[in-house]
Amino acid sequence: MKRLKENFQKPHILIVGAGIIGKFNAIELSQLGYQITIADPVLDKNSSSAALGLLMGNMYQKRNGRSWILRKQSIELWPKWIKLLKQFNTELHIEKPLIELTSNDAKFEKLKKFVKENTNQGLEILEKESFVIKNINKTFKTKHLKGIISHKDGRIDPRSLLDTLNIYLKNKKITFLKDEIIKIKRLHKQWISTSRKNNEIKTDAIILCNSLNALNLIDLKTHKVQLKRVLGQAIEICIDEKEVDFLSLPKHFNINGKNILTLSKNKIVIGSTDEYHDKPEDNVFEKLTDFLEKKPLWLSKDKITRKWFGIRSRPDGEPSPIQKNLEDGLILCTGFYKNGFLLAPTCSNWVASELKKYFL
Ligand SMILES: Cc1cc2nc3c(=O)[nH]c(=O)nc-3n(C[C@H](O)[C@H](O)[C@H](O)COP(=O)(O)OP(=O)(O)OC[C@H]3O[C@@H](n4cnc5c(N)ncnc54)[C@H](O)[C@@H]3O)c2cc1C
C-alpha cells in the first residue's frame, strides 16, 4: 500500500468530498493551522457545479428554529469570506438584491405580512405599479406578478466561487487527492482511510462532506443516519424574439418557486425542482417552463438550448443539513439538498469549533 506523507506536528484532517462544503471546511481548518488533505475522485462534477448560486437568507420567512439560526449565522459570515477570497479574485462578489414573485394573491398577502413584521431588514414590497414589476410582467406577458425584494440577499456566481476556492486551496498548499475514499477505520487515536487507488491516509480526524456516499463509510448500525437522493435541474432558454429583451429583467429572481437568472438580452436560466429519482423523469426539464397559468410564447420547450442536473442528498427523518459529531475525530457535515452555497460558511464554522474542542 502507498503511504501519503505524514506530518505529526499539527493535527492532520482528511476531508472527504470537495464540493462547496468540503472546500469551505478545508479553507477554514487550514486557517486554524491544521494540516489538510481533501479527497475527491472527480473535479467539478457534483451538485455544487450544477447550482445557480442564489443566497436566500433574509428572505426566509420563518424567523425561528435551527434553519433560521444557520441562515442568520451564514449571512453574518459571508462578508468575511468574500474579503478573504478577494485576495485571489478581486471580481468575486455577491450580486444583490434578490426578488421573490408570485401570481397567487394569498401568497402575496403572506409575503406582505412578512415584510411588515420584519422592518429594517432590507425587505420591501413590490406592488404591481413598481417599475421592476411592470418590466417583469411585460416580459412574461402577464399582469399578475407581484412580490418582495430583499436588498440583503443575492447571488454569487458558483463557477467563479468554486474556481476561487480551488486557487486558494492550491496557494495554501492543501493536499488534494484525486481519489475516492472507500473505507475508514479507527486505530487507537488515529483514523486510517483507504482509497480506491490504494492510498492509505493516516489522520487525526475525518470530516465527511461527501453527500450520499457518506453512508458507505460509516457504521449505520451505530449511527442512525439516512439520506435520500434529490435531483435538482436547470435549463437555459435562448430566444430570437425582437420585442423581448431579458436585460430589462432583474439579474436573478424567483417566480412561483422557480429561480431565474438573466444571462443576456436573449438568454435566461431557469431551475430547479426537487425530484426523488436517480435520473430526471421524462419532461422534467420541460416542466421548468410551467410556472405561470398562461405563459408567453417564448417560454416553450423548443427554446431550451441547455439542460443539466445535480444529485443532492436530503436527510431522511431529520432536518437538513446534518451536522453530527459521530465519534471521536469523525464528523459528518452533509445533506445539503438545498442552500449549500448559502450555508457553507456557518457549517465550516461549526466544524472548526467542534475540532477545537476535540483537540484541546
Ligand atoms: C440545479 C441546482 C441548483 C441549485 N441552486 C442552488 C442555489 O441557487 N443556491 C444554493 O445555495 N444551493 C443550490 N443548490 C444546492 C447546492 O448545489 C448544494 O446544496 C451543494 O452543492 C451541496 O454541496 P456539497 O459539497 O454538500 O455536495 P456536492 O457538491 O455534491 O459534493 C460532494 C462531493 O463528494 C464527493 N465524493 C462522494 N463520495 C466520495 C468518496 N467516497 N470519496 C471522496 N469524495 C467523494 C463527490 O465527488 C462530490 O464532489 C442547487 C443544486 C442544484 C442541483
Residue nearest to atom 21 of ligand 1 (CA): 48
Tell me what the mean pLDDT of segment 236-265 comes to: 95
Rounded to the nearest integer, the mean pLDDT of the chain is 94
Counting residues of the chain whose pLDDT is more than 70, the rounded percentage is 96
CA of 228 to the centre of ligand 1 (A): 14
CA of 333 to the centre of ligand 1 (A): 12
Tell me what the mean pLDDT of segment 283-298 comes to: 92
Residue nearest to atom 33 of ligand 1 (CA): 17
In this structure, what DSSP letter does residue 21 have? H
Dihedral sign for Cα 356, 325, 345, 308, please: positive
Q: How far apart are CA 8 and CA 271, in angstroms?
A: 46
Phi-psi region of 122 (alpha: psi -120 to 50; beta: other; left: phi over 0): left
pLDDT of residue 3: 46
Tell me what the mean pLDDT of segment 166-191 comes to: 96
Tell me what the mean pLDDT of segment 232-260 comes to: 95
User: Per-residue pLDDT tens for 303-323?
Assistant: 999 999 999 999 999 999 999
pTM of the predicted model, to two decimals? 0.96
Q: Is the CB of 233 under 6 A from ligand 1?
A: yes
Spatial contact of 264 and 248, defined as CB atoms under 8 Å apart: no
Tell me what the mean pLDDT of segment 104-122 comes to: 97
pLDDT of residue 273: 67
pLDDT of residue 346: 98
Domains of the chain, each with CATH number or no CATH: 2-88+158-225+316-358 (3.50.50.60), 98-151+229-315 (3.30.9.10)
Q: Is the CB of 69 under 6 A from ligand 1?
A: no
Mutate to test the pocket of ligand 1, among 81, 227, 312 (most ligand atoms within 8 A of CB): 312
Tell me what the mean pLDDT of segment 99-107 comes to: 97
Q: Is the CB of 234 under 6 A from ligand 1?
A: yes
Tell me what the mean pLDDT of segment 31-45 comes to: 94
Tell me what the mean pLDDT of segment 256-274 comes to: 93
Q: Is the pLDDT confidence value at 281 over 90?
A: no
pLDDT of residue 280: 72
* Upper half-sphere CA count for residue 122 (Cβ side, 13 Å): 15
Q: Is the CB of 208 under 6 A from ligand 1?
A: no
Q: Is the CB of 195 under 6 A from ligand 1?
A: no
User: Per-residue pLDDT tens for 45-58?
Assistant: 899 999 999 999 99
CA of 209 to the centre of ligand 1 (A): 9
Mutate to test the pocket of ligand 1, among 166, 341, 351 (most ligand atoms within 8 A of CB): 341
Residue nearest to atom 15 of ligand 1 (CA): 338
Q: Cell 499539527 identifies what position?
A: 10
In terms of Cβ atoms closer than 10 Å to its own Cβ (0-12, 13-18, 19+), residue 157 is: middle
CA of 184 to the centre of ligand 1 (A): 21
Q: How far apart are CA 238 and CA 158, in angstroms?
A: 21
Q: Assign 128 a pLDDT band (cuts: 50, 70, 90).
A: confident
Tell me what the mean pLDDT of segment 98-120 comes to: 97
pLDDT of residue 283: 84
In this structure, what DSSP letter does residue 95 have? B
Spatial contact of 50 and 234, defined as CB atoms under 8 Å apart: yes
Q: Is the pLDDT confidence value at 277 over 90?
A: no
pLDDT of residue 282: 76
pLDDT of residue 278: 66
